[in-house]
Amino acid sequence: MMDPFGHAELDQLLETSASWCVSLYMPTHRRAGETPEDLVLLKNLLRDAEKQLIQRNMRPDDARKMLQPARELAQDQYFWVHCDDGLAVFLAPGFHRWYRLPESFEPLLVVNQRFHVTPVLPLVTQEQKFYLLALAQNHVAFYQGDRTTLQQVELERLPKNMDEALRWDTPDSTLQAHTGQSGPKSKKTAVFHGQGGLPDAEKRNLSDFCHAVARVVDKYLADKTDPLLVVAVTELFAAYQEASSYAHLFPEPLSGNPARMSQHELHRAAWDAVQRILEEQQQQVLEDIAAKLASPLVSLDPKEVLLAALDGRVDTVALARGKHLWGTYDAQQRQVQLLDNPEQHPDAEDLLDAIAVETYRRRGRVLLVRQDQLPSSEGEVLLAARFRYALQQTSAS
């Protein structure tokens, strides 16, 4: 089970600031019986959070009170048998939120004056809507989805199965048919004869079936540009591919029997395919950044990128997944300081997270990538940013 997480939830986290904010991320298991491992990890992270809060001069009683909602969560058996791949927990005085999400987070605890949100940003900034057609001879259903949700859409005149699409009781103009008796309930079935034989009849039936479905689906998608994915056997998908005129039809079928797949299984299969689309788009962005590395439109310098993000100049920033860069910054004075010993500075924060937040707030795109996907340079590269315009162009603009 996943919890909704979108712009509204992210904005609420960004609007929350306090002397103490605890952000906690951890992987979880979907299968019941494996949750004790998750409970131990949560309790250990909460214990570390309490120590850090007390070290930052929070009264022990106040620290325990602030963390209590998450400790009570550890006792909720129903919650733990309905987990997804990861859990994100956000705690502040008088504030607590947690989300079961389709991301297997690395264990992470951050105590700061605002919430650490980089791990969940892709759920919002790399969102992609899609459509899904479950297509089988005995089952047709149409869905709309995104990273976290999949909802069935009722389309008028969309046939529910092949029988309904072909209107078995209506003779075809080119194939002659009569009805025979089959089964204990004497259900009518079609028995074909005439030119072409049975294989040709089956091909014609599949073609007519897919054209009947495609007419309805194509009409609904007439002004859409999001990808359409189809769960079907190979032969049926080939017939549908020929019948459909939708320009954004995913070129391969998703494997599985849609009539026997749960909605969760359908969503998982669809999102795996959509992720491949996003990864291809992401790779194109990284290649463009690498090609412009020597130009003033690209920077690998965290200080420069943070100031550019505050100015709204960052179009896209790619951050090394799981990496941190601790320091402080003053937006008014435009000063950025890196810290070798952040534990000695109560105001220290992850500057990569600050870059991600400031980029998001100004409608830029944030990507989390493997560190080896970033352009190579001297020293450790933690990010790569593409600017909307070069700094020297500001006076002219």
**pLDDT digits 0-9 by tens, 32-56:** 555 688 999 999 999 999 999 999 8
Condensed to tens digits (0 to 9), the pLDDT of residues 257-266 reads 999 999 989 9
Whether residue 321 has pLDDT greater than 70: yes
CB-count burial class (<10 Å; 0-12, 13-18, 19+) for 247: exposed
CA dihedral 229, 230, 234, 238 (to 10 degrees): -80
Strand segments (E) across 186-313:
187-193, 228-231, 298-299
Lowest mean pLDDT among 48-52, 80-84, 391-395: 391-395
Residue with tokens 């940003």: 121
- The closest alpha carbon to 190, from 161, 213, 169, 174, belongs to 169
Q: Is the pLDDT of residue 170 over 80?
A: no
Closest to 309 measured CA to CA, from 369, 388, 394, 368: 388
What does the block give as tokens for 215? 């007419």
Running DSSP on this structure, what letter comes out for residue 347?
Answer: T
Residues 346 and 19: their CA atoms lie apart, in Å, by 10
pLDDT of residue 190: 39
How confident is the model at residue 301, as a pLDDT? 97
Q: 162 exposed, middle or buried (CB, 10 Å; 0-12, 13-18, 19+)? A: buried
pLDDT digits (tens, 9 = 90+) for 228-251: 999 999 999 999 999 999 999 999
Length of the chain: 397
Comparing 179 with 304, the larger pLDDT belongs to: 304
List Cα–Cα distances, 19 to 116, 167, 228, 305, 309, in angstroms: 14, 68, 47, 26, 24
What's the pLDDT at 202? Answer: 85
pLDDT in the model for residue 197: 39
Q: Can you give the pLDDT at residue 177?
A: 37
pLDDT of residue 169: 39
What number is the average pLDDT over the span 339-351?
85
User: What's the confidence (pLDDT) of residue 39?
Assistant: 92
Whether the model clears a pTM of 0.85, i.e. scores above it, the answer is no
Determine the pLDDT at residue 62. 97
The answer to whether 302 touches 355, Cβ cutoff 8 Å, is yes
Per-residue pLDDT, 33 = 56
Question: Is the predicted pLDDT of residue 377 greater than 90, yes or no?
Answer: no
Q: Given this model, what pLDDT does residue 214 score?
A: 97
β-bridge partners, 87: 26, 100
Residue 4's pLDDT band (cuts 50, 70, 90): confident
DSSP 297: T
3-state secondary structure of 3: coil
**In the chain, pLDDT over 70 holds for what percent of residues?**
89
Given a cut of 80, is residue 393 above it in pLDDT?
A: no
Structure tokens at 85: 């791949």
Which of the four pLDDT bands, split at 50, 70 and 90, describes residue 194?
very low
**How high is the pLDDT of residue 376?**
87
Domains located in the chain, CATH noted: 7-117 (3.30.960.10), 130-275 (3.30.420), 292-393 (3.30.1330.30)
> Do 22 and 53 touch, CB atoms closer than 8 A?
yes
Q: What is the mean pLDDT of residues 357-361?
A: 96
